[in-house]
Structure 1
Amino acid sequence: MGTIKKVGFIGTGVMGKSMSRNLMQAGFELAVYTRTKAKAEELIDAGAVWHDTPASLAASVDAVITMVGYPSDVQEVYFGESGILQHAKSGTYAIDMTTSRPALAEEIHTAAKAKGIFALDAPVSGGDVGAKNGKLAIMVGGEEEAFQAVLPIFEAMGENIILQGPAGFGQHTKLINQVTIASNMVGVCEAISYAEYAGMDPSKVLQSITTGAAGSFSLSNLAPRMIKGDYDPGFYVKHFIKDMLLALEAAKEMGLMTPGLELSLSLYERLAENGDGDLGTQALIKLFTKKA
């Protein structure tokens, strides 16, 4: 296992762009590929090397990070004709930071190992703010030796970095994270709406409740956006729906009861049906508040 100098990043969206920038600031040589080149222009201008295909990128780096949209995109970028597993050199580290299926993470790990590639699943939490500030929580599944080798990469992007166990455990942890947020977001929306309907100043109410037992990331960071009517995406509604569906699928396979998750999913699906799938998750307040 050699020193990692060149890192490739596939998928420079809302969070990927900030994560890539932090890697460059930490001294890594960065290569990038994204389906829409315009989304990577800022990084290219800052010194990142552009590649026209995932294959070209994967063949040129010591470690490749993927942060794409859906499990189908993960499948394509790893197993497709231009995929990472076909073109990365033996000894390359492949880190999928997309929120995806635990079973797919296991499949990638097995296929990678057969080719001498070290695969880790490492989804994140912390939203656009955490990505910009390099304070993401990174939940990792894979082998200890590979985890230790790529730890400097993770440390450039996050603070709370934990190897949860074998392949797939990073994805399971992220889905558990999303299950927790799902019910919490409903509670935050109900709380703000309650304050508004009672004729109170919701911002002032937040000052009282964010530091107590009701405190949460959503209450501190997303509730103020809700109050302002700021629905810009730190994390898309459509991607949260995807995550909740993955969590629900995994829960059903295990025979686990998840009524809170099911309620939140139904509300977010309603929001998406109203045409709001490209807004941030805080837009859920639109279903509750009289100001929407």
Structure 2
Amino acid sequence: MDKRYAFIGNEAVGDVVRERLDAAGWTRTADVASAGMVVTYCTSQTALEDAYFDENGIVQAASPNTVLIDLSASTPSFARELNAVAIVSDLAAVEAPLVVADPMLSDALSDRDNLMCLVGGEEDDVEAARPVLDALVGTVQETGGSGSAQLARAAYTLQTSAQIMSAIEADALYRAVQRSSAAFGATFGRAGATTPEAEQVLAAVNAGRFDGAYTVEMLMSELSAALMAADDVDLILPQAEACLHLLELLAVIGGADKAPSALALVYGEEAACAENGLDWTRAEQAYASEEAGEDCDYDDDGGDGDGGDFPGGFGAYSAN
């Protein structure tokens, strides 16, 4: 087996891939044409499409029989398209969207057992990709043919994002009530949770743990992919859209590289936001630009995201 691989995309994930595969005896190369495996992880659909289908993209550059492993959250339709193109190009395409079990850990990507891949594709192609996937993550869950893993990823994302948001809003309610009336004192404690995912969120918020390897940008990319998958079948998902707007808001004020637990800051005091590097004047400027009919791009820190229009009415989400 040719144990040379290339990685394209987000370098935070790329660092994890390099560490794990180097330890497993693989060698990273910058030359896609010389790689037996090409691993990708992008945080926007545009970046992903460019990586594979540009004039000098992976499909054009890869040698015959190269295995393409995409760790990104994308759509079932993109996965099927990539698989079809790979077949006619003498390549093997495997969709293996990365899942972080506890995204609130500060080192969420460092623990192999905290990572899982949902894997879809042709049976022989998945088998060929297994050595790389087994080295990268603690659990590999096969889902079926092309498109199935991205569909499973979208469903997982919708449930996870809903639990993150509901836990943060429950906590925000407790804090707001306790701020507004000293009569409650400490008798109500903090918001509780009934699911492991919500407990993870509340633990991070209560500890003030708003930085981590798994970022708002990553969650946005996963949620955007789920919404695109729904759009492909003319399905409207209001809850997911509302969650994405809040994530966009957090990104606008400087939180794209924060952990998702930082959403709690949006509901809190401006001073707490400032202490954590968030600037509400950026939201005011973005909102003014939208009022003037201009597009605004939240991703002004050099990430590979597409950016997004600032959601109007940001004041409704905060006491500021």
Q: TM-score range by the shorter chain?
A: 0.7 to 0.9
Q: Which residue of 2 aligns with 1:116?
A: 90
Report the CA distance shift for 1:108/1:149 in structure 2 as closer, same or farther (over 3 A): same
Runs of 4+ aligned residues of structure 1 deviating over 6 Å after TM superposition are none
1:122/1:139 contact within 8 Å kept = yes
Q: Distance in 2 between matches of 1:30 and 1:217?
A: 35
Deviation at 1:289, TM superposition (A): 3.1
Structure 2 residue runs of 5 or longer lacking an equivalent are 179-184, 274-320
Deviations 1:212-235 (A, max 9, x none): xx1223532x43332233322433
Give the Cα–Cα distance (whole angstroms) in 2 for the partners of residues 205 and 275 of structure 1.
27
Which of 1 and 2 has greater Rg?
2
1:18 alignment partner AA? V
Contact 1:140–1:162 (CA under 8 A) maintained in structure 2:
yes
SS of equivalent to 2:162: helix
CA deviation map 1:40-62 (0-9, x unaligned) = xxxxxxxxxxx2xxxxx211111
Residue 122 of structure 2: aligned partner: 143
Residue 177 of structure 1, aligned match among 156, 161, 182: 156
CA contact (8 A) 1:12 1:20 kept: no
Aligned residues: 259
Q: How does 1:1-292 map to 2 (within 5 A)?
A: 3-31=1-29, 51=30, 57-126=31-100, 127=103, 129-135=107-113, 136-196=115-175, 197-198=177-178, 200=186, 209=192, 214-220=194-200, 222-256=201-235, 258-290=237-269, 291-292=272-273
**Residues in 2 aligned to 1:72 and 1:224: alpha-carbon distance in whole angstroms:** 34
C-alpha displacement at 1:113, in angstroms?
0.8
CA–CA separation in structure 1 for the residues paired with 2:186 and 2:137: 37
Q: CA deviation at 1:179?
A: 0.5
Aligned-residue offset at 1:12 = 4.7
> 1:102, 1:168 within 8 Å by CA — same for their partners in 2?
yes
CA distance in 1, matches of 2:242, 2:71: 27
Normalised by the length of structure 2, the TM-score is 0.72
Deviations 1:18-71, CA, capped at 9 Å, x for gaps: 23211111222223xxxxxxxxxxxxxxxxxxx2xxxxx211111110112211
Matched AA of 2:58: I
Shift of the alpha carbon at 1:121? 1.1
Pair 1:232–1:154, CA change in 2 (3 A): same
Deviation at 1:118, TM superposition (A): 0.5
Alignment-mate amino acid for residue 80 of structure 1: D
| CA root-mean-square deviation | 2.5
Residue 110 of structure 2 aligns to a residue whose secondary structure is: helix
Task: Name the TM-score, length of structure 1 as normaliser.
Answer: 0.79
Displacement, 1:261?
Answer: 1.4
Cα distance per residue 1:253-276 (max 9 Å; x no partner):
334453321332232233233343
Q: Supply the distance in 1 between the matched residues of 2:257 and 2:84 (Cα, whole angstroms).
A: 34
Alpha-carbon deviation of 1:245? 2.8
What's the CA shift for 1:205? 5.1
Distance in structure 1 (CA, Å) of the matches to 2:88 and 2:160: 37
Which amino acid is 2:87 matched to?
A: K
- Structure 1 equivalent of residue 288 of structure 2: none
Secondary structure of 2:5's counterpart equals: strand
| Distance (whole Å) between structure 1 residues aligned to residue 170 and residue 23 of structure 2 | 40
Q: Which has a greater percent of helix?
A: 1
Amino acid at match of 2:133: F
